[in-house]
Amino acid sequence: MTLSIRPMTPDDVEAVREVVSAANDEADRKAGQEPSAPTAQQREQFFRGTRRFITEDAAGAWVAVDDDGVVGMAEAIRRGGFWGLSMLFVHPRAQSQGIGRQLLDRTLDYARGSDVRMIMTSEDPRALRRYALAGLQIHPAVKGVGMVDRTAIPVDLKGRTGSADDLDLVAAVDTALLGRSRAADAEFVLGNGATLEIVDDGAHRGFALHRDAHPNMLGATDEQTAAALLWRILEKTTDKTEIYCLTAAQDWAVRVCLAARLAVSGSGPLFISGMDHPAGPWLPSGWYF
């Protein structure tokens, strides 16, 4: 069996989706959960997002191919001095044979010269091992999962639903909070089926994107504003919600989850290098951080 690692191309997107799906389904089964099939809309969102990685972050998008086709994929982003690993998946039929490590190494080439590196990970011990050995520091995290207790939602929540007209606010809040702006990524996510929530109240400003009942990026000037934005998302969910990757710096969000009577339990950690801890009034997007 021959194996090659090569740049991802637009022709790979369907095979890439199948690898991600098979790896996720297997991980669900191992965790004792029944895998759920994505909707047609979620598949389309995945394809659009993957094509964007290939055009915007070509040097971070890789596939592993054996005699039977694509068996692994990796995607990483660079935004100035920031590098983040967005996805790393190997098909269950080819796992634990060193393919994940080779793919990760290619994406780390794209990290050269970056100041800050970040990975929001699953609980897979193979992933944790390689991320720690790549020099990133672990930040243990929890998740909040379940149906929101609607009686707990604060009345008169601050804020409004936003639009592309609010991207200047996104850029300003992020630049002060993170030293980088996610506005271009937020614009893409917004155009790819997400909803934007805004608080713009004097010194208290912030934004949050959400899709399919979970946050997909949040940034605010302060924790109180961040909490109001998270409540706005929870208020709109009618289905089971999942809020991942809450480290000690997101204690404010853990408290919102607890108040909403979500089940808080261990989750895949966040790995970081180049900063001591993540920003506080911030929730990452899995793909764009």
Binding site for ligand COA (CB under 6 A): 23, 27, 88-90, 95-101, 121-122, 124-127, 129-130, 133
263-273 vs 137-146, strand pairing mode: antiparallel
CB contact at 8 A, 260 and 144: yes
Q: Closest-CB residue for ligand COA?
A: 100
C-beta closer to ligand COA: residue 89 or 282: 89
Which residue's CB is nearer to ligand COA, number 96 or number 265? 96
Q: Give the 3-state DSSP-derived string for 181-207, with helices as H, strands as E and coil as C.
A: CCHHHHHHHHHCCCEEEEEEECCEEEE
Q: Min. distance of Cβ 23 from ligand COA in angstroms?
A: 4
In the complex, what is the shortest distance from the CB of residue 170 to ligand COA, in angstroms, rounded to a whole number? 25
Q: In this complex, which beta carbon is closest to ligand COA, that of residue 60 or of residue 206?
A: 60
Contact residues for 205 (Cβ-Cβ < 8 A; gap 6+): 169, 172, 173, 199, 220, 221, 225
User: What is the closest distance, in whole angstroms, from the C-beta atom of residue 104 to ligand COA in the complex?
Assistant: 8
Instruction: DSSP for 102-152, please give it.
Output: HHHHHHHHTTTT-SEEEEE--S-HHHHHHHHHTTPEEEEEEEEEE---GGG
Which one, 25 or 200, has the nearer CB to ligand COA? 25
Cβ proximity to ligand COA, 227 vs 283, nearer residue: 283
- The nearest distance, CB 222 to ligand COA, in angstroms, is 30
Q: Taking the complex as a whole, how short is the minimal distance between the CB of residue 31 and ligand COA, in angstroms?
A: 11
Backbone φ, ψ for residue 168 (5° rounding): -65, -40
